[in-house]
Amino acid sequence: MQKLILKRKISHRIEQGHPWVFANEINIEAKNSAHLEDIQPGEIVEVYDHADKFVGRGYANTKSKIIVRLLTRNIKETIDADFFYGKIQQAWEHRQHIGYIENCRLIFGEADDIPALVIDKFNDYFVIQTLAYGIDIWKPAIIDALNKIFKPKGIYERNDVPVRELEGMEQITGFLSEPFDTNIIINENGLKFHVDLVKGQKTGYFLDQQDNRRHIQHIVKGANVLEAFCYTGTFSAHAAFYGAKQVYGIDISETAVAQARRNAELNGLQNICTFEAMNAFDALKQWSKDGKQYDVVMIDPPAFTKSRENIQKAITGYKEINLRAIKLVKPGGYLVTASCTNLVQPPLFMDIIAMAAKDARRRLKQVTYQTQASDHPIVWGLENTEYLKFLIVQVL
């Protein structure tokens, strides 16, 4: 097995638990270190610190900036099909223990010690993403493990993500089981929702907000509610289900709005929920000028940046959209706001909301702050595992 030696200043970070080893962190001059050109993409390698102490074992790809992603720190553990079966079984037992039985993120990459692998469970159906070359070559073992543990009705691959190209892989989608109807219905918090596993965003549905949708229960009773960036109307349906008087959802996607209407009808909420396709940025700006106001305004905009180079643009965008939303809330009403941009960490997110409130000349009283659902574990020390911010405030 090929052996890579870390530079002295880098060793501590990785020893503390971070699974990524970047190309510039390898001491290529160390006499015991392998030559990078000799390492095959996806090959399992061993990583040692500058003092030649074993750090971990993982898969390598010299074409990627992340040259090694560690899978184990146990020198006695072998990376084989049984390894992946054990990891998936362990992750499933954890989900069940904390209350996720029907729908959940079964594997959340680094948080479940299988870097670059995402598996979402929608009852008896599974959607997987293999986002690095080193995990992609283990796909047959992963599928075999899912079949043994769950005996699923279907498995679908949603590898239509640009990050794969950074690893020298093509984007691809398709069945990893016998073909099945990919338009399914799931249950969530007493409601039912259509999920399109093929055309829906990400893996077909935003499971990471399933816990947060329950948090609006008490603030929406008897309220006139606006949901901007409503996508398929899951928050809107929850608001109506929890007793809202009227719910108005907007999204730029005609397809998403059509599905939002279907979701409302599926739950008998079509007389409470109204959806329209329009640009939320423009609509909120105009409505705030017009003096429109609602009891509750909910916004969950898309990620504004995926690179640090554009972080200032993201900050400006989040501030502006939250400023417009705050202006649309009646005094004493509530703002529900979220951000999925990983690079906007929680303290910065809170600062952005505070700046927006200051510009709107409104005071805020926090009701609750949450992160992603607990089936998307946050591992302390791994910043990238904490990405979703969810905040409810009363606007005074």
Q: What's the CATH code of the domain at 224?
A: 3.40.50.150
DSSP SS3 for 134? helix
Mean pLDDT score of the chain, rounded to an integer? Answer: 94
**Distance separating alpha carbons of residues 184 and 228, to the nearest angstrom:** 25
198 is a domain residue: no
Percent of the chain with pLDDT over 90: 84
Widest CA span in the chain: 73
Q: Which of 282, 225, 223 is nearest to 251 (CA)?
A: 282
- Residues 162 and 244 grouped into a single domain: no
Supply the pLDDT for residue 303.
77
Examine the domain organization and report whether 12 and 39 are in the same domain.
yes
Fill in the DSSP letter of residue 146: H
User: Are 37 and 123 found together in one domain?
Assistant: no
Quote the pTM value: 0.94
Residue 159: inside a domain: yes
3-state secondary structure of 169: coil
Task: List Cα–Cα distances, 263 to 133, 181, 209, 232, 274, in angstroms.
Answer: 37, 18, 16, 7, 11
Residue 306 has pLDDT above 70, yes or no: no
The answer on 279 and 218 residing in a single domain is yes
Half-sphere exposure of 43 toward its Cβ, with a 13 Å CA cutoff? 18
Q: What is the mean pLDDT of residues 334-341?
A: 94
pLDDT surpassing 90 at residue 372: yes
Total residues found in the chain within this entry:
396
What domain range includes position 15? Answer: 3-72
Question: Are 173 and 226 in the same domain?
Answer: no
Written as six digits, the tokens of 242 are: 């929890």
Give domain status of residue 157, yes or no: yes
Residue 194 falls inside a structural domain: no
pLDDT(11) > 80 = no
Residue found by looking up tokens 């080193």 in the block: 134
User: Could you tell me if 373 and 286 lie in one domain?
Assistant: yes
CATH of residue 16's domain is 2.30.130.10
For 331, the enclosing helix (H) or strand (E) is: strand 329-339
| Residue 187 maps to a domain | no
Structure letter (DSSP) for residue 309: G
DSSP SS3 for 298: strand
Per-residue pLDDT, 13: 80
Find where tokens 């390598």 sit.
60
Does the structure show a pLDDT above 90 at 383? no
The set of residues, in sequence order, having a beta carbon less than 8 Å from that of 31 and lying 6+ positions away, is: none
Indicate the pLDDT class of residue 309, thresholds 50, 70 and 90: confident
In terms of domains, do 224 and 351 share one? yes
**pLDDT (tens digit, 9 = 90+) per residue, 65-84?**
899 999 999 999 999 999 99
C-alpha 124: how far from chain center:
21
289: region left, alpha or beta (phi > 0 left; psi from -120 to 50 alpha): alpha
Give me the amino acid identity at 296.
V
Query: For 210-254, what is each residue's pLDDT tens digit?
Result: 999 999 999 999 999 999 999 999 999 999 999 999 999 999 999
Residue-level pLDDT at 30: 85
Per-residue pLDDT tens over the stretch 168-206: 899 999 999 999 999 999 999 999 999 999 999 999 999
Using alpha carbons only, give the angle 221, 272, 200 rounded to the nearest 5 degrees.
Answer: 105
| Range in 7-11, 38-42, 72-76, 102-106 the model is least confident about | 7-11
If asked whether residues 26 and 112 sit together in one domain, one would say no
Q: What is the pLDDT of residues 338-359, one digit of tens each?
A: 999 888 889 999 999 999 999 9
On whether the CB atoms of residues 320 and 353 are closer than 8 A, the answer is: no
Stretch 119-127: mean pLDDT: 98
Task: Note the pLDDT of residue 215.
Answer: 98
Instruction: Establish if 42 belongs to a structural domain.
Output: yes
pLDDT at 307: 65
Instruction: Tally Cβ neighbours within 10 Å of residue 190.
Output: 10
State the Cα–Cα distance between residues 77 and 90, nearest whole angstrom: 15
Number of domains in the chain: 3
